[in-house]
Structure 1
Amino acid sequence: MEHKSLSLDSIEFKFEDDKPGTFSGFASVFGGTDSYGDTILPGAYKKTIKKRDRPVVLRWNHWGPIIGKWTKMEETEQGLYVEGELTPGHSVAGDVYASMKHGAISGLSIGYRPIQTRELGDGKRELKEIELVEISIVETPADLNAQIGDVKSAIDQAESLKEVEACLRDAGGFSRTDATALVARIKSLVRGEREPEQSTAEIAGIFQQFKLP
């Protein structure tokens, strides 16, 4: 599964004051090339919205708990419009909502599987059809240790090298090239059967080598 984030500052986003815990906005927009080199084309969400075996869940930071539900989801000319409702009485949901209204949280991020893509070269591609898995409210890791924790969580849950690379790009803002290189280094550490503490320290050194945030 791949992830793609969108800052709340860059989209139309609003809260319903008469309905505490509810909000609406765009989880994804069409056109342009994002930091991953991807361009999402109009029509990418039509099939996944209409035909589903299970609902698109609303999570905290992709790997966190389900903190609410999406009450509306539709594709417009601008992108993927959503309306959400955070679960009343849920401790995490309450904290997330307070942080959203305060502007302390960075945005929304979709968890998806690419169904139809077109490679454009130089690490760029067009996404013609997407299968939505979940949409998360996300924060930006504040320091290197937080990023390493996200990387370890991603590796634990990923089912393929491509998924690991996608999680690295989402969790740490890696480019495709850096994500591929880091995964290769991590694989070499695992094959060498290093002690966990030593491996974590070496991974931190790799972050610093790449001069990533």
Structure 2
Amino acid sequence: MNQNLQVRNKALPILPKVQCRRLPVKLEARDIKRDPKTGVLRITGYAVKWDSVNHYGEKFIRGAFAEVCAAFAAGTKKVHAYYNHGWRMWFLDSFMAMRIGKYLRLEEDDQGLLVELEFTPNMQWSQTIAAMVEHGTVDGFSIAFYPPSPMDMEDKGTHVEIKRADLYEISVVDEPADDAARVISEDSINGLESSSDAVELLRSLGLHGEYADKLISRLNEFSKPQETPAPEPKKDPFAFLDSSGV
């Protein structure tokens, strides 16, 4: 046995710095296909609609994902598939952090970003989500994209138009509107080894960017030990005798 082998066991994964946006999708019967022989389920729907403004005041313009789609078609870009952005829920359940399938198609058309997802066969977690989609229990898509550069956005006053964005993953979702409404396990808190780990945890709960950094900085101030002032030297009760020359 090689005694020099070392296993890296980091308490927290490196989470991507991405933003998540949900779009309710009503999947019709024609959008859901199950292979009668293999039982594999495929669904087709729009992860983004060009004519919609999300609750963050953002509107994606056709062409925003052109580069992503081209790279995906060329096989040089992967867009992962999760349930409820499960990669952020690693501290609750390992199953939730597993990918549920793979995207077969990713393309822009006149309506929006069209995607086709195939659920992983013979995988319990994937088949559970597939069953909920087929039943209509779950009816949404949500994209996780890297923050666009200022050059790729334009403020229209009533909303912001995003002209180019890079995708990390697209989830099948039924999650609440408030991404920060999460339950934090005791293990996730005990696993924090540094302030940077704490920042990653806060970001995974929806608190992004400088707000997470500021909160950690403020908490660090509270945790600093308070300095105890040095005691004043005791006064000599007979000091007046020295000054009187007695």
Fold conserved between structures, TM > 0.5: yes
Q: How many Å apart are 1:57 and its aligned residue? A: 1.0
- Report if aligned partners of 1:141, 1:147 keep a CA contact under 8 Å in 2: no
User: Within 5 A, what are the aligned runs for 1:1-213?
Assistant: 1-9=18-26, 14-18=31-35, 20-51=40-71, 53-62=76-85, 63=87, 64-113=97-146, 114-115=148-149, 116-121=152-157, 124-141=159-176, 147-149=182-184, 164=203, 167-168=206-207, 188-189=218-219, 191-193=221-223
Cα 1:39/1:22, change in 2 over 3 Å: same
Q: Distance in 1 between matches of 2:55 and 2:178?
A: 20
Q: C-alpha distance in 2, partners of 1:12/1:6?
A: 19
Q: Could you say if the C-alpha distance between residues 145 and 165 of structure 1 is closer, same or farther in structure 2, counting changes exceeding 3 Å?
A: closer
Q: CA deviation at 1:120?
A: 3.5
Question: Given that residues 27 and 139 in structure 2 are in contact (C-alpha distance below 8 angstroms), is that contact kept between their aligned partners in structure 1?
Answer: no
- Structure 1 residues not aligned, in runs of 5+: 170-178, 195-213
Say how many residue pairs are matched. 180
Change (3 A) 1:144 1:127: closer
Higher alpha-carbon Rg: 2
Structure 2, unpaired ranges of 5+:
1-17, 88-96, 190-195, 225-246
RMSD between aligned residues: 4.0
For residues 205 and 30 of structure 2, what CA distance do their matches in structure 1 show? 26
**Compared with structure 1, are the counterparts of its residues 13 and 146 closer, same or farther at alpha carbon in structure 2 (3 Å cutoff)?**
farther
Indicate the structure with greater strand content: 1
The Cα shift of 1:137 comes to 1.1
TM-score norm. by structure 1 comes to 0.68
Any runs of at least 4 consecutive aligned residues in structure 1 with deviations exceeding 4 A, and if so which?
10-13, 141-146, 155-159, 179-187
Question: Using a 3 Å threshold, how does the CA distance of structure 1 residues 69 and 191 change in structure 2: closer, same or farther?
Answer: farther
Distance (whole Å) between structure 2 residues aligned to residue 24 and residue 76 of structure 1: 13
Distance, in Å, in 1 between the alignment partners of 2:219 and 2:19 is: 24
